[in-house]
Chains A and B, each alone.
Chain A
Amino acid sequence: MTDSTPFQSLLGGALIGLSAVLLMALHGRIAGMTGILTGVIPPLASEWLWRAAFLAGAVVAPLLYQAIGGHIAFSVPVPTLALVGGGFLVGIGVHFGGGCPSGHGICGMARLSPPSIIAVATFMMTAFATVFLVRHVIGG
């Protein structure tokens, strides 16, 4: 079980949206984790430095949150094999699909981009179906 956290989730979502707006206003870029991560995987994108700085900021933020006394609930309810297999599929999928929830789901949908809306609808459906299969058909 995880408790429903509507207020924190709305606030956190708004911060994700704010980072997308700031990255557009200041750097003219889409705040999609797929594109930012891909840019620092060799062969490096020519504009890889700001991406590395963004990633570093994203890693440091939860640590600061903990340092000021914030509690971070975190648990991984799947075996290592699922992390490896799921991660590999995520990597293949975001490359061909051109983005993930941050890029397509927030930035693309906010621009009302039809490919992003189709991508989000598709990956939400397959994620719902996968969790149903894993938890209630295979594991049930």
Chain B
Amino acid sequence: MSKLVSAFLIGGVFGLGITVSGMINPAKVLNFFDLAGTWDPSLIFVMGGGLAIAFAGYRLVFRRRKAPVFETAFALPTKRAIDAELVGGAAVFGIGWGIAGFCPGGAIPALGLGYSATPIFVAAVIAGIIVARFARARLAQPAAT
């Protein structure tokens, strides 16, 4: 139970950060990418503030603790290759981000604001993830000949 309350509160800190930083606002995100037009540099500060705290904080956590409070071990992503899948996926993500102005971390907190654009975007993201899962499962199976 305390584990769920903790995750809820940490999600709350994330959502508050997305809100205060302006990442919740697609107009602001798109203006960051519009160097040749209405450029808004704010997202550099979001990245700077987030990286500074995460960089220092992660080091502190890994030095002080052998395991997280609620689990027996840290679940760190396994080292993955820098391959066409990673680069191609990131490239496609950036195109979608530039078209819509939303990313997953910006859109989820915006769901509660009551604008119809947000659930439309989130539904499209979920559809994309489901299609990608299916495509990967198909690709992973050797063709039956």
Q: With A14-B53, A98-B86 as given contacts, are A58 and B70 in contact (CB-CB < 8 Å)?
A: no
Establish whether residues A2 and B31, one from each chain, have CB atoms under 8 Å apart when the complex forms. yes
Task: Pick the most buried of A14, A31, A132: most chain B CB atoms within 10 A of its CB.
Answer: A14
Q: Which of B68-118 contact A (CB under 8 A)?
A: 68-71, 73-77, 79-82, 85-105, 108-113, 115, 117
Establish whether residues A87 and B45, one from each chain, have CB atoms under 8 Å apart when the complex forms. no
- Residues on A with C-beta less than 8 A from B55 are 110
- Residues on A with C-beta less than 8 A from B110 are 62, 74
B20 to A, closest residue via Cβ: A12
- Residues on B with C-beta less than 8 A from A22 are 10, 13
Establish whether residues A86 and B11, one from each chain, have CB atoms under 8 Å apart when the complex forms. no
Q: Which of B1-34 contact A (CB under 8 A)?
A: 3-28, 30-31, 33-34
Establish whether residues A33 and B104, one from each chain, have CB atoms under 8 Å apart when the complex forms. yes
Q: With A118-B86, A124-B94 as given contacts, are A33 and B7 in contact (CB-CB < 8 Å)?
A: no
Establish whether residues B120 and A92, one from each chain, have CB atoms under 8 Å apart when the complex forms. no
B132 to chain A, nearest CB (A): 4
Chain A positions within 8 Å of B, measured between CB atoms, are: 1-31, 33-34, 37-38, 41, 49-51, 53-65, 70, 72-78, 80, 82-98, 100-102, 104-111, 113-115, 118-120, 122-132, 134-136
- 17 further interface pairs, Cβ-Cβ under 8 Å (given A54-B7, A64-B16, A127-B94): A1-B38, A13-B48, A14-B49, A17-B51, A18-B13, A27-B71, A55-B108, A57-B7, A57-B12, A58-B109, A61-B16, A78-B100, A83-B102, A91-B129, A93-B96, A126-B94, A130-B98
